Amino acid sequence: MSPLEILKYPEIQLFEKSAAVSEIDAVLQNQINQMFETLYCSDGLGLAAPQVGCLQSFFIYDFSRRDDEAKYGAGPIVLLNPEIIESEGEELADEGCLSIPGYFEKVRRAYRVQLKAQDREGKDIRIEAEGLAARLFQHEIDHLNGVLMLDHLSSLKRNIFIRKFKKKQKYAESK
Ligand code: CO
């Protein structure tokens, strides 16, 4: 098995809405395994299916490489058709995205969320999370709706990002 290519901004698929997962079959399990392989080759904590070009509503994550893993229920975990059913509080903290490598910016998110989803066998589950895990859930669910962390920034910060991105692109093309 080899890692999949992680799509990078401004790839069009990153802005599309994913379809619900309805069939839990060998194709899906294989896709999940390949996504874990891809995640472990990166320095990220989570990966949403659209980031590897699969427009299906699920994401994977694993906190077990962090020292404070116990706080987050560790991993590896797959959440199919995840939905936020409750959110509470607010927190502004640094965030990054494997589809926007090297870019980190403060994003405002709910501090605590409750999700309903299915696990990789299709069993209904509910998960509660706060802090970093709650942030990850919100970030990954955004991916399933074609939303990037950039969409949460002020228009000023977003414009600075776009300007710098275009400059970098131009520079790369000129070489
Ligand atoms: Co991301």
Identify whether the C-beta of residue 115 lies closer than 8 Å to the C-beta of residue 126: yes
Identify whether the C-beta of residue 138 lies closer than 8 Å to the C-beta of residue 92: no
- Return the SS3 of 55: coil
Alpha-carbon span 126 to 118, nearest angstrom: 8
**For position 73, what pLDDT does the model report?**
61
State the number of CA atoms in the 13 A half-sphere of 112 facing the CB.
3
Beta pairing partners, 104: 96
Active site residues: 140
CA–centroid distance, residue 101 to ligand 1 (Å): 9
Residue 59, number of CB atoms within 10 A of its CB = 27
Please report, for residues 52, 116, 154, 164, the alpha-carbon distance to residue 157 in angstroms, rounded to integers and kept in the order given.
26, 32, 5, 11
**For position 75, what pLDDT does the model report?**
74
**For position 106, what pLDDT does the model report?**
97
Residue 147, number of CB atoms within 10 A of its CB = 16
**For position 72, what pLDDT does the model report?**
60
Residues with C-beta atoms within 5 A of ion ligand 1? 97
Alpha-carbon span 137 to 124, nearest angstrom: 17
Contacts of residue 163, Cβ cutoff 8 Å, sequence gap at least 6: none
CA–centroid distance, residue 138 to ligand 1 (Å): 10
**For position 47, what pLDDT does the model report?**
98
CA–centroid distance, residue 35 to ligand 1 (Å): 14
Identify whether the C-beta of residue 57 lies closer than 8 Å to the C-beta of residue 81: yes
Q: What is the mean pLDDT of each run of 10 residues along the chain (175 residues)?
A: 93 98 97 96 95 98 74 79 98 97 96 97 95 96 98 96 94 89
Pick the CATH number of 12-174 from 3.40.50.10800, 3.90.45.10, 3.90.1150.10, 3.40.50.300: 3.90.45.10
